[in-house]
Amino acid sequence: MPELPLILREREIYCVGIKGTGMTALVEILTSRGAKVRGSDVADTFYTDAILRSLGVSVYQGFSQDNLQLPIDFVIYSAAYDSNTHPELVKARELEIPMLPYNQALGQLSAHQDSSGIAGVHGKTTTTAMTGVLVMALGLEGTVLTGSGVANFDGRSVLTQGNDFFVAETCEYRRHFLSFHPQRIILTSVEPDHQDYFTQPGDIDLAFLEYGQRLPEGGALIYCYDDPGARNVAQKLATIRPDLRFLPYGFLSPSGYRITHYTTGQGIQRFTLEVPGEPRATQTQEYTFILRVPGKHNVLNAAAALALILTIVADRSVSLPTDRALLPTLARGLEGFRGTNRRSEIIGEAAGVLVLDDYGHHPRAIRTTLEGFRNFYPGRRLVVSFMSHTYSRTSALLDEFAQSFGPADLVIHHNIYASAREAPISGITGQALAEQTRRYHPQVAFFPEPLDSVSPIFEMLKPGDLFVTMGAGDNWKLGRHILRLLQEKDGQ
């Protein structure tokens, strides 16, 4: 595997699939370190187009071997493209240009500095974004990379404040996170997912266990004690690697970062976090924090982010300005967290209807997110449009999906959002999921295509409703269309 140079200034780097969220974030890091970057992608417009323009990065619309104009020192490419068949990657190989997939490039960046990886089936994007907000609050000279645009980062998915340390969201799919070199890992949750790759029971647990073993001696595993899967991986890792530090967090945590005195309602979540003292100290500190985003799961994410930042500050003996008391400064930063794209994202409100969008695409994430909405927005009727993602996940978890919509008042299903990496499975359809959901829920509707349901859903909505588009498909477009109709109705 070729290696990215440690010094990137004036290096010419070409990125295939440059408009992807992760790739654009990587481009921001590369350009901040002096690299000259250009690349290619499909002609469709994405929110990342504006970011790339602001960086002065040239983007070819469409793929062609003619795009690869020398000099090029390195090619980095999205994992969505096959290096054996993609025309530009085939050409790069002919020209003997070193090539790296995105996850390997990210991993090599992590190897050159103090790095922390944030992993888990649920919660890793929001936890990473919260970590970035805390880095901003303290004015630390670090870089934080997330898997989605972050409101506090001006809609970008990376925060670049310096190179003292690196924090990145790391993905379990196809074990991509095994390219990363962490000194610390946050483990938010572990349970079956990505059934097209993790086909056997326990496969995904082994992947997370393998990731934990990449920690160096004295490295830290910050894990959610409330999550049975994360707790199980931590316990197994402790028997293999007693040299590591194990820092639990959660409502049920017996030590470490324990959440207490939790309340929610009327747009605020408030909780107290117990913060351990020095390693040999018995006392703990307690401090109260406020979140203005919904969901008890986000309190867990916040506790994880706080634990990581406090560990980084302690490990690196960071000296803070005298006017920045540590915990009060972190509390102010956390209260100002405004969320990320597609994670409890407020799209808008008109005619008395609040429209939100959320990426939740796994049964447990769906239930916990909807419960959070129910508690955070009391008194609102909860109407949910859901588009399941991948046939394999829907097939493996069909009944779990059907039971996960309990907090909703009305559930609307659509066709399954197919993945290019798998074929349809007989009998596994959006309509089949709707029929299964009716076994557990009294109000279920099915509209095959999301945009074909704009008018009937608009007619269903009433003032005071909360309308949520949910899933990893493209039904997020539905919320935008309905909001425009609501705004017209409201005379906006």
Q: Cβ(389)–Cβ(471) under 8 Å? A: yes
Q: Cβ(191)–Cβ(364) under 8 Å? A: yes
Q: Cβ(366)–Cβ(393) under 8 Å? A: no
- pTM for the complete prediction? 0.83
Mean pLDDT of 429-455: 95
Q: What is the DSSP letter of 148?
A: S
Q: Cβ(361)–Cβ(166) under 8 Å? A: no
Question: How confident is residue 267, by pLDDT bands cut at 50, 70 and 90?
Answer: confident
Reported as a single tens digit per residue, the pLDDT across 477-492 is 999 999 999 999 877 6
Of 445, 457, 449, the C-alpha closest to 484 is 457
Query: 349: left (phi > 0), else alpha (psi -120 to 50), else beta?
Result: beta
Question: How confident is residue 419, by pLDDT bands cut at 50, 70 and 90?
Answer: confident
What does pLDDT average to over the chain? Answer: 91
In the chain the domains, ranked by start, together with CATH numbers, are 12-101 (3.40.50.720), 113-335 (3.40.1190.10), 345-489 (3.90.190.20)
Mean pLDDT of 197-215: 87
For a pLDDT cut of 90, what percent of the chain falls above it?
70
Question: How confident is residue 193, by pLDDT bands cut at 50, 70 and 90?
Answer: low
Q: How many CB atoms lie within 10 A of CB 51?
A: 22
pLDDT value of residue 295: 84
